[in-house]
Amino acid sequence: MLDEIALKYKTDKGSQGHGHTKYYEQIFLARREQVKTVLEIGVYRGASLRMWADYFPNAEIFGIDCNPKVAARTKHKVFIGDQEDLIFLQKVIKEINRPIDLIIDDGGHTQDQHIFTFEILWPCVAAGGYYAIEDLQTCWSPRHRSTKGLDSMKYLHNLAEKVAIRYLTKIDIETIKFANKIVFVEKGK
């Protein structure tokens, strides 16, 4: 179902592109009508926002992008700014003003952005909600390397280790699911 919607809107998330839709569907098919809020970072031309709106019929869909022209291409609220700007992200959080069921990081794909944005936005994820980071293959791309010595994959593996021994840690992550070019982090209930 989600892949058909992705193909309809010509987003690269479907089987004709990155193939992420099958993983989203595994997680959300049975509960897609319960999803109330979605935030996607990096919306390009807005096709994925339209896809999410069709797939999650009861959700309000938000986007973040650094290109001001994007906001004119969609009916959904798109915040224009840099995903590594703390003040900007705080304004986004304040305006959305509710827990977010699904956050998708399909933004700049640098390792600095992955980690910074996750750490700022993770507290906003609803209990039982998910934070997805797409296109993880960029972690091995020289142009997406960290300027601060950060490593997204090591960071995520460190989180996974904490989940494995959660009884010893105070982590609020229920599961971490790695798939082809994508990771899903589920918040505990």
Task: Catalogue the active-site residues.
Answer: 109
CA distance 75 to 169: 42
Please state the length of the chain. Answer: 189
Contacts of 149 (CB under 8 A, 6+ apart): none
Would you state the structure tokens that stand for residue 132, as one six-digit string? 């997805």
CB-CB contact of 45 with 70 (8 Å): yes
| Amino acid sitting at position 132 | A
Q: Which residue has the tokens 């959305």?
A: 96
CB-CB contact of 60 with 35 (8 Å): no
At 97, is the secondary structure helix, strand, or coil? coil
